[in-house]
């Protein structure tokens, strides 16, 4: 029985471990931190519980399918609830006759069409036709691209795929596709915001990714009871039932090679002990850059320093975890503040990295759906601001951004927040670098531009080390918890194929 080391217990690593154990491999997962799930960790204090990372449970059928692949059902472990409305969005000027600065997007597709039609007559019908096209792209992507390994460019240009390439709109941008459908600025932003999850901007993202609007409007936004850490723990339990061993607080510090093969891993525990253990192959779910630059000798690194500098990273984030002593009824479970210059923010994230005075931001209020997240009559709020990877992260900048966000929240809602704030915590680039070894402190891995998609993405097998594979948000198929989970499956299939 081949001994497999999985480095890192993020969604990609846990998923790969499960598929490999199911298929007869002897699997050990070594995780530097004291929890499973990677960025899907939680923070608890004084009866409040916060998801510290992922907060959007999209594509629930793929999570359900993962459990079925293991001979289990998701319902054994946790419940999911449809979030309705899907989200609230605040803008910089009033919308419609009632003078409200926000709109709620209903979970019901017809309700969403009605919202579009109210703001821009004729757009409701165009939205329906547009979403049909998004659904077709989604089906094509899931059937022909997402679950595939790309051993050569020929796999991307397979005869079965080529006839469908025109429909994918690979050479049209997401932004231009959206602007063909709606003219109202608020509606354009609603259709474009999923690119944040793709680690890119609408003008640089291929229009094929408008399939995310199908995920949003049609498949819906859900919430896993207990938060994303409950999802990760459920996947861990499935793995352990299959015989996978998890060692938390065990950090891999070096991969030792014989020829072009990993022979052993050097490990340091949180208690300061060190040991070395031999394995037949390795699946690295730790940060791709960290594995290449810190765990491997220079001559065995597949990605050059120059290429790392040219790659388009997903954003970093500034996260705040805020506890309030009153219900925040002015916000929905998911709430966006798009009341700031849209293009300026994305230019500062992707083109000319800098801190700007008025950023866009997002709120997650899990206690609106899950009453175990806050004591009765109180509210847990997670505030996220996307920023450029690699910026200097200082306490003063965090203070400035929080004060600025609270100002706008109070201004738009007309309700006080500061005097109801019980406590706050934050994390940003420094913690992402320290806790996850994240390259330049990024939050979502590798951006999904045209030339970082499918065959062009970082490979899930090392070019120079024959028994080293990768899983997670830098490699196939993409970013986010669901894609990372699928990444583990795709990588396990490549291990099985031996290619």
Note the pLDDT tens digit of each residue in 134-189: 999 999 999 989 999 998 887 777 676 677 777 778 789 999 999 999 999 999 99
Q: How confident is the model at residue 204 (pLDDT cuts 50, 70, 90)?
A: confident
Two structure tokens written together for 429: 């680039």
Q: How confident is the model at residue 196 (pLDDT cuts 50, 70, 90)?
A: confident
Q: What is the CA radius of gyration of the chain?
A: 22
Average pLDDT over residues 25-38: 99
pLDDT for 219: 98
CA atoms of 418 and 426, how far apart (whole Å): 16
What lies within 8 Å, CB to CB, of 306 at 6+ separation is none
Pairing verdict, β 245-248 and 26-31: parallel
Task: Tell me: pLDDT of 388 over 90.
Answer: yes
Two structure tokens written together for 335: 């709430």
Two structure tokens written together for 411: 């201004």
Q: How confident is the model at residue 40 (pLDDT cuts 50, 70, 90)?
A: very high
314, 444 Cβ separation under 8 angstroms: yes
pLDDT for 163: 75
Instruction: Render 351-374 in DSSP notation, one character per residue.
Output: TS----SS--EEEE-GGGT-GGGS
- Helix, strand, coil share (%) of the chain residues, nearest 5: 40, 25, 35
* 399-408 pLDDT per residue, tens: 999 999 999 9
Task: Tell me: pLDDT of 410 over 90.
Answer: yes
Choose from 171-180, 191-200, 358-367 the range with maximum mean pLDDT.
Answer: 358-367
Task: Tell me: pLDDT of 489 over 80.
Answer: yes
pLDDT for 127: 98
Task: Tell me: pLDDT of 75 over 90.
Answer: yes
pLDDT for 399: 99
- By the 10 Å C-beta count (0-12 exposed, 13-18 middle, 19+ buried), 467 is classed as buried
187, 120 Cβ separation under 8 angstroms: yes
366, 80 Cβ separation under 8 angstroms: no
b or e along 212-237 (b: 16 or more beta carbons within 10 Å of the residue's beta carbon)? bbbbbbebbbbbbebbbbbbbbbbbe
Whether the ω angle into residue 414 lies within 30 degrees of 0, i.e. cis, is no
Give the range among 152-161, 218-227, 274-283, 292-301 with minimum mean pLDDT.
152-161
pLDDT for 464: 98
pLDDT for 346: 94
Two structure tokens written together for 441: 């402190």
Domains of the chain: 3-45+226-303+458-497 (3.50.50.60), 108-218 (no CATH), 311-435 (3.30.519)
Q: How confident is the model at residue 198 (pLDDT cuts 50, 70, 90)?
A: confident
* 297-332 pLDDT per residue, tens: 999 999 999 999 999 999 999 999 999 999 999 999
pLDDT for 199: 77
pTM of this prediction? 0.97
Between these two residues, 104 and 159, which has the higher pLDDT value?
104
Give the range among 202-211, 242-251, 270-279, 385-394 with minimum mean pLDDT.
202-211
Task: Tell me: pLDDT of 3 over 90.
Answer: yes
Task: Tell me: pLDDT of 197 over 80.
Answer: no
Share of the chain above pLDDT 90, in %: 90
pLDDT for 265: 99
For residue 305, how far is the Cα from the chain centroid? 25
pLDDT for 99: 78
What lies within 8 Å, CB to CB, of 276 at 6+ separation is 256, 264, 265, 266, 267
pLDDT for 96: 73
- Give me the chain's average pLDDT, please: 96
Task: Tell me: pLDDT of 4 over 80.
Answer: yes
Q: How confident is the model at residue 369 (pLDDT cuts 50, 70, 90)?
A: very high
């Amino acid at each position: 029985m081949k001994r497999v080391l999985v480095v890192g217990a993020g969604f990609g690593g846990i998923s790969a471990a499960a598929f490999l154990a199911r298929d007869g491999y002897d699997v050990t997962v070594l995780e530097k931190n004291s929890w499973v799930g990677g960025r899907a960790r939680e923070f608890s204090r004084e009866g409040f519980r916060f998801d510290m990372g992922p907060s959007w449970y999209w594509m629930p059928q793929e999570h359900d399918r993962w459990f079925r692949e293991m001979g289990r059902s998701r319902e054994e472990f946790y419940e999911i609830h449809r979030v309705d409305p899907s989200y609230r969005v605040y803008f910089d000027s009033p919308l419609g006759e009632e003078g409200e600065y926000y709109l709620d997007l209903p979970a019901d597709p017809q309700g969403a069409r009605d919202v579009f039609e109210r703001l821009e007559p004729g757009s409701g019908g165009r939205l329906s036709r547009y979403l049909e096209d998004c659904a077709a792209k989604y089906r094509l992507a899931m059937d022909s691209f997402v679950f595939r390994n790309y051993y050569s460019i020929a796999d991307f240009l397979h005869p079965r795929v080529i006839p469908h390439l025109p429909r994918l709109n690979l050479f049209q941008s997401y932004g231009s596709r959206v602007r063909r459908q709606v003219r109202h600025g608020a509606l354009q932003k609603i259709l474009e915001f999923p690119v944040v999850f793709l680690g890119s901007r609408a003008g640089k993202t291929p229009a094929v990714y408008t399939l995310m609007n199908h995920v949003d409007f049609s498949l819906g936004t859900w919430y896993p009871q207990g938060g994303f850490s409950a999802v990760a723990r459920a996947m861990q339990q499935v793995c352990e039932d299959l015989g996978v061993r998890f060692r938390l607080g065990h950090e891999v510090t070096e991969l030792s090679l014989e020829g072009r093969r990993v022979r052993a891993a050097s490990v340091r525990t949180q208690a300061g002990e060190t040991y070395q253990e031999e394995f037949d192959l390795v699946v690295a779910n730790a940060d791709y850059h960290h594995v290449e630059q810190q765990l491997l000798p220079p001559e065995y690194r597949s990605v050059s320093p120059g290429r790392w500098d040219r790659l388009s990273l997903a954003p970093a984030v500034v996260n705040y975890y805020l506890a309030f002593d009153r219900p925040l009824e002015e916000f929905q479970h998911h709430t966006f503040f798009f009341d700031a210059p849209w293009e300026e923010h994305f230019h500062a994230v992707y083109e000319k990295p800098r801190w700007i005075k008025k950023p866009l931001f997002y709120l997650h209020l899990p206690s609106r759906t899950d009453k175990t997240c806050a004591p009765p009559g109180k509210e847990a709020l997670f505030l996220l601001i996307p920023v450029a990877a690699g910026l200097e992260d200082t306490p003063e900048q965090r203070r400035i951004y929080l004060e600025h966000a609270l100002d706008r929240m109070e201004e738009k809602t007309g309700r006080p927040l500061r005097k109801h704030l019980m406590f706050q915590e934050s994390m940003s680039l420094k913690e992402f670098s320290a806790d996850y070894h994240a390259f330049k402190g990024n939050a979502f891995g590798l951006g999904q531009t045209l030339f970082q998609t499918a065959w062009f993405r970082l490979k899930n097998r090392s070019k120079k080390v024959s028994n080293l594979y990768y899983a997670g948000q830098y490699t196939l198929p993409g970013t986010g918890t669901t894609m990372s989970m699928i990444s583990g499956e795709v990588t396990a299939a490549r291990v099985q194929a031996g290619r």
